């Protein structure tokens, strides 16, 4: 819509529900992912104890961070196999199960002699987050809107994600410190995983029941669907496109002149 006025009210009427769903998924995902990224080192430091050598803590934190990599790599393949919506929805559903297991077994895992088991279970939890929404939420936001409004659509959804990251990084760490300072160390570790697992279940429901399937031809289909809607609402679509009429001829002519100058 470079050469015409954007019909914002029609865009809102057409996309508000889908955009609200995607924004909520992004907000809840970042609520957990960013806060756990900040909380992981604190959890490991408290688990290993104050007398632990620095290289030991650094090594376990490095191993824990490594789990992001297999999650995002596998997620790129899974998205092609089952589609972004299903990859996101089923991954966070499994992540919720792992999170509840982590919370239920926390008192057994959160001891220095079981640090390896703690890192493995925690790492699987992290990897599943990258496998699903980490790889697919931005892709879904890109594919489920028409080209004409994609920038604003994606930007609004991403902004909600940043709001979730800010709220989560403050809330979960405050809750953890509150219980930990009160001497309730087990509950301090359980609460973040319980909250995050509940949000994972909400995201799974939002994705699987309220988002459309997207495939290789979704962008072209979405453009056609949006254009047909605008026409039905009486909007003049004749000026839609990157350039039209004289402006298109000018772009072509400038390109030819630029090529001749370079030659």
Question: What span, in angstroms and rounded, lies between the C-alpha atoms of 230 and 107?
Answer: 58
As a whole number, mean pLDDT of residues 238-262 equals 58
The structure's pTM equals 0.86
Does residue 243 have a pLDDT over 60? no
Question: What span, in angstroms and rounded, lies between the C-alpha atoms of 251 and 253?
Answer: 5
Question: What span, in angstroms and rounded, lies between the C-alpha atoms of 159 and 235?
Answer: 29
Q: Which candidate, 108, 104, 131, 133, places its Cα nearest to that of 22?
A: 133
Instruction: Tell me what pLDDT residue 213 has.
Output: 87
What's the whole-number average pLDDT of the chain? 87
Distance of CA 100 to the CA centre of its chain: 21
Instruction: For residue 263, name the pLDDT band (cuts at 50, 70, 90).
Output: very low
As a whole number, mean pLDDT of residues 114-122 equals 88
Instruction: Tell me what pLDDT residue 59 has.
Output: 85
Q: Residues 143-162: pLDDT tens digits?
A: 999 999 999 999 999 999 99
Q: Residues 71-100: pLDDT tens digits?
A: 999 999 999 999 999 999 999 999 999 999
As a whole number, mean pLDDT of residues 244-254 equals 53
Distance of CA 234 to the CA centre of its chain: 36
Q: Residues 200-216: pLDDT tens digits?
A: 999 999 999 999 988 88
Least confident piece of the model among 98-107, 130-139, 183-192, 237-246:
237-246
Does residue 24 have a pLDDT over 60? yes
Question: What span, in angstroms and rounded, lies between the C-alpha atoms of 58 and 41?
Answer: 9
Instruction: For residue 62, name the pLDDT band (cuts at 50, 70, 90).
Output: confident
Does residue 16 have a pLDDT over 60? yes
CATH code for the part of the protein at 8-223: 1.20.1250.20
Percent of the chain with pLDDT over 90: 57
Least confident piece of the model among 17-31, 78-92, 154-168, 226-240:
226-240
Instruction: For residue 225, name the pLDDT band (cuts at 50, 70, 90).
Output: very high
As a whole number, mean pLDDT of residues 176-181 equals 88
By CB neighbour count within 10 A (0-12 exposed, 13-18 middle, 19+ buried), where does 127 fall? buried
């Amino acid at each position: 819509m470079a050469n015409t006025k954007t019909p914002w009210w029609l865009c809102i009427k057409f996309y508000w529900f889908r955009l609200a769903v995607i924004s909520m998924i992004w907000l809840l995902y970042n609520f957990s992912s960013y806060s756990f990224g900040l909380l992981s080192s604190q959890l490991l430091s408290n688990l290993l104890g104050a007398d632990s050598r620095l290289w030991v803590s650094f090594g376990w934190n490095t191993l824990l961070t490594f789990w992001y990599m297999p999650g995002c790599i596998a997620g790129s393949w899974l998205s092609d196999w089952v589609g972004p919506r299903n990859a996101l929805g089923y991954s966070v559903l499994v992540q919720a199960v792992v999170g509840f297991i982590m919370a239920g077994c926390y008192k057994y895992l959160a001891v220095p002699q079981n640090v390896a088991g703690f890192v493995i279970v925690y790492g699987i939890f992290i990897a599943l987050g990258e496998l699903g929404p980490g790889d697919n939420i931005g892709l879904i936001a890109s594919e489920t809107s028409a080209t004409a409004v994609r920038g604003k659509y994606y930007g609004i959804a991403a902004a909600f994600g940043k709001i979730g990251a800010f709220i989560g990084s403050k809330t979960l760490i405050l809750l953890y410190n509150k219980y930990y300072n009160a001497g309730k160390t087990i509950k301090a570790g359980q609460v973040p995983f319980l909250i995050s697992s509940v949000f994972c279940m909400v995201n799974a429901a939002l994705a699987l029941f309220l988002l459309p399937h997207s495939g290789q031809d979704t962008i072209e289909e979405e453009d056609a669907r949006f254009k047909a809607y605008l026409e039905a609402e009486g909007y003049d679509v004749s000026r839609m496109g990157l350039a039209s009429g004289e402006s298109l001829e000018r772009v072509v002519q400038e390109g030819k002149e630029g090529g001749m100058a370079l030659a």
